[in-house]
Structure 1
Amino acid sequence: MSKKTLVLGASLKPERYSNIAINRLLNYNHEVKAFGLRAGKINNVTIDTELLPYDDIDTVTLYLNPLRQKAYYDYIIGLQPKRVIFNPGTENPEFYHLLQQNNIGFEEACTLVLLGTGQY
Structure 2
Amino acid sequence: MNKKTLVLGASTNPSRYSFLAINKLVDNQCEVVAIGLKKGKVAGVNIEIEKIPFNKIDTLTLYLNPQRQVEYYEYVLDLKPNRVIFNPGTENQEFYKILTEKGIKYEIACTLVLLGTNQY
In structure 2, the partner of 1:47 is: 47
Query: Structure 2: how far apart are the matches of 1:49 and 1:87?
Result: 20
Query: Structure 1: how far apart are the matches of 2:43 and 2:33?
Result: 12
In structure 1, the partner of 2:11 is: 11
Runs of 4+ in 1 over 4 A off after TM superposition: none
Query: Structure 1: how far apart are the matches of 2:5 and 2:11?
Result: 15
Percentage identity across paired residues of the two chains: 60
Q: RMSD across aligned C-alpha pairs, in angstroms?
A: 0.5
In structure 1, the partner of 2:107 is: 107
Query: Structure 2: how far apart are the matches of 1:8 and 1:43?
Result: 16
Query: Structure 1: how far apart are the matches of 2:24 and 2:70?
Result: 27
1:1-120 residue pairs with structure 2 within 5 A? Answer: 1-120=1-120
Return the TM-score normalized by structure 1.
Answer: 0.99
Shift of 1:43: 1.8
Unaligned runs of 5+ in 1: none
Return the TM-score normalized by structure 2.
Answer: 0.99
- 1:34 partner amino acid: A
Query: Structure 2: how far apart are the matches of 1:53 and 1:71?
Result: 15
Unaligned runs of 5+ in 2: none
SS at match of 2:85: strand
Query: Structure 1: how far apart are the matches of 2:40 and 2:97?
Result: 33
Shift of 1:100: 0.5
SS at match of 2:69: helix
